[in-house]
Every structure is written in C-alpha cells, then in structure tokens.
Amino acid sequence: MGAERVQDIAKSSEETIPDAFIRLETEQPGITTVHGAVLEVPTIDYSDPDEEKVLSAIEDAARNWGMFQIVNHEIPSEAIAKLQAAGKGFFELSQEEKEVYAKPSGSKSMEGYGTALQKEVEGKKAWVDHLFHKIWPPSAINYRFWPENPAFYREANEEYAKHLHGVVDKLFKSLSLGLGLEGHELKEAAGGDNLEYLLKINYYPPCLRPDLALGVAAHTDMCTITILVPNDVQGLQASRDGLWYDVKYIPNALVIHIGDQIEILSNGKYKSVLHRTTVNKEKARMSWPVFMEPPSDFEVGPHPKLVNKENPPKFKTKKYSDYVYCKLNKIPQ
Ligand SMILES: O=C(O)CCC(=O)C(=O)O
Ligand SMILES: [Fe+2]
C-alpha cells in the first residue's frame, strides 16, 4: 500500500482536519499573512520595447524579491491551458489509476506521484499531493512517470516544454547581464544546454481549515530558476522582511522564482525567495512549477568572474546532487 494521499484525507474530513495538518502558530496563515498590503511582487511586461527597462526590472526583482511575474511573454495561452487541463485530468482520475505513477519506494529520483517530499518541523504535514517528471531534454525524460490519461497529456507537456526555451534563455541572459557577465555566461555555468526541466504538478485539495493549514511550507527552491503557472485559485505567498505577502494571481502570467543555484552562482547578489502556499476552503488549487536544474553531477559555485580578493566566495562549489541531498535531509551545506 502506498502512502495516504491528501486528496483522500480531504474527501473523508467532514468537520475539521487531522492534527498533523494544523501548523504551529508561528506558521498559521490566518495569523501570519499581511492583509491589505501595499507591497507587491514586481510584474514585468515582456512586450515593453524598452529592453533596458525590462533588464533593470528583472535585475532589481532578482536582487530584492527573488520573485517576479512576467506578463505578455511568448507562451500562448492555449499551451498553458492545455498543460493545465492535462494535469487536472490526471488528478481527477481514480486513486487506483494515479497510484500506477507513484514514486517507487526507495527511489533516489524525485520523479513520480507522491505526497510528503521532506521531513518537516515538528512532523507537520503539508496539504498537497504532487506529480514530478522531467520534460526536457528528451534524453533525460522517463515516460514511465508521464500519465497515459488524459490522452493528450504527452502532447500538452511536450508543447509546453518547447515554448519554455525562449523564456528560459531570455531570463538567463538578463540575469547574466545584470551581474556584469556576458549574456551566455550564467546559463553556461548552470549546465548550459544540459539544463534539465523538472515539472512538478501540485494538487492542493479543498481544506476545511485554510487558516490553520499550509500547502507547501516555507522554503526556497533548490534549482536555478523556477517558472510556474498556477490555476486561478489564490495561494502563493512570498516572504519579505519576515512578513508574508500574497502573490496576486494574474491570468496567464508566469511566476518566476530565483532558486538557490542562482543565489550561489551570483555569489549572493541575487536572492532565492522564501515562499509558501495557502489552501482554499471550497476549491482545489493547482500549480505547475518547472524547476530548471543543473545535471546531477554538474558542479555549481559562485561564478569565477564574480569572486576576487574583495569578494571572496560566499558559498561552496558542489555537485548539484550533493546540494539536493543536503537540503532534503536538512544537512548544513
Ligand atoms: O503552488 C505554488 O504556487 C508554489 C509551489 C512551490 O513553491 C513548490 O512546489 O516548490
Ligand atoms: Fe517552491
């Protein structure tokens, strides 16, 4: 028997939620969210002809927020809608059908359908199930974890992966120039064309106590950059100066997170963003982050051109797989 899925727990809860999902008071969204905030995660318009302006907006957001939203990008809304319909179709299958894709026990890879990802403070649980699989490059894909239902699942994911390339390259180029490097240097130091796109689908079932539970608990993403599309249910929050702000849902926007590897490569100039998700009482929330990851044995450290006597490296250089292992097991880096 596999682990108990939150989707099943949600169906069988009638009045309240199991204790394990009730967060500590220091985490409960009902207590810790800033309401009526004037501060907002920056929104960047990719169709703005003023390239300098776009570049400095990205640099500024990456330094000060570690998160921003992009509107008027090149990914067609139909491609996003199809990706979302495919993922929603999968999570609406029977539990038995979904378990076919369950992450095998003992597997070292992230790939597969699953529930808890890592050990959490005081054994608290997250109100979310997920499906992970790579979508790029083709040599890294394991179709064993791509659902066969709905029938258009594969096509939807392949199309979305193709549309992502332009956005990924433009982001890396802007972030690279923002560090005073040449446009191609940052992506090269992150794995170049071997960068792997790992898709995660988060499924947050309706929750009777959204004031007490959390979807994904506070964390920074381990990868380089995350490109995320949510469904239309509000839930993503970003932390800034110790306070939690809602990241406004904007239809068709791409949410970008700066992950740990970019913070490391930039020797701390860019910040990976601390974020978390809340859940909804009536509706299921879903999101589709794609984590841009260096190949597992690729070494990442502060970019050599950014370190010198005055700016010594602030981070160790290590294999991406070692970084991930330490982070998931809460071992200091
Ligand atoms: O659901 C979201 O909007 C964010 C999910 C997230 O942060 C993650 O899966 O790493
Ligand atoms: Fe995240």
**Which of 110, 275, 285 best tests ligand 1's pocket when mutated (most atoms within 8 Å of CB)?**
275
Could you list the beta-strand ranges (E) of the chain: 43-45, 67-71, 112-114, 129-136, 196-204, 225-230, 236-240, 243-246, 254-258, 275-277, 285-293, 299-300, 318-319
**Which of 6, 226, 228 best tests ligand 1's pocket when mutated (most atoms within 8 Å of CB)?**
228
Q: Among residues 111, 295, 112, 289, which one has the least CA distance to residue 196?
A: 295
Residue nearest to atom 1 of ligand 1 (CA): 287
**Which of 287, 288, 291, 328 best tests ligand 1's pocket when mutated (most atoms within 8 Å of CB)?**
287
Query: What is the CA angle 142-145-150, rounded to 5?
Result: 125
- Please tell me the distance between residue 275's alpha carbon and the centre of ligand 2 in angstroms: 6
Predicted local confidence at residue 1, as pLDDT: 43
SS3 226: strand
- Please tell me the distance between residue 216's alpha carbon and the centre of ligand 1 in angstroms: 6
Ligand positioned closest to the Cα atom of 277? 1
- Please tell me the distance between residue 44's alpha carbon and the centre of ligand 1 in angstroms: 20
Check: CB of residue 85 under 8 Å from CB of residue 157.
Answer: no
Other C-beta atoms closer than 10 Å to the C-beta of 322 total 16
pTM of the model: 0.97
Q: Among residues 22, 24, 23, 30, which one has the least CA distance to residue 244?
A: 30
Q: Ligand 1 atom closest to Cα of 286?
A: 1
Q: Do the strands 112-114 and 243-246 form a parallel or antiparallel pair, or are they unpaired?
A: unpaired
Question: In the structure, which protein residues have their CB atom closer than 6 angstroms to any atom of ligand 1?
Answer: 200, 202, 216, 221, 228, 230, 235-236, 275, 277, 287, 289
Alpha helices in 20-100 (DSSP H): 29-32, 51-64, 77-91, 95-99
Q: Ligand 1 atom closest to Cα of 287?
A: 1
Predicted local confidence at residue 117, as pLDDT: 60
Predicted local confidence at residue 13, as pLDDT: 79
Ligand positioned closest to the Cα atom of 236? 1
Ligand positioned closest to the Cα atom of 272? 2
Q: Could you say which residues of the chain have pLDDT below 50?
A: 1
Domains and CATH numbers, the chain: 6-328 (2.60.120.330)
- Please tell me the distance between residue 132's alpha carbon and the centre of ligand 2 in angstroms: 13
Ligand positioned closest to the Cα atom of 126? 1
- Please tell me the distance between residue 265's alpha carbon and the centre of ligand 2 in angstroms: 19
Q: What's the CA gap between 238 and 230, in Å, rounded? A: 15
Q: What's the CA gap between 262 and 134, in Å, rounded? A: 20
Catalytic residues: 200, 219, 221, 275
Predicted local confidence at residue 38, as pLDDT: 61
Q: Ligand 1 atom closest to Cα of 276?
A: 7
Check: CB of residue 114 under 8 Å from CB of residue 130.
Answer: yes
Q: Among residues 124, 255, 60, which one has the least CA distance to residue 246?
A: 255
- Please tell me the distance between residue 194's alpha carbon and the centre of ligand 2 in angstroms: 22
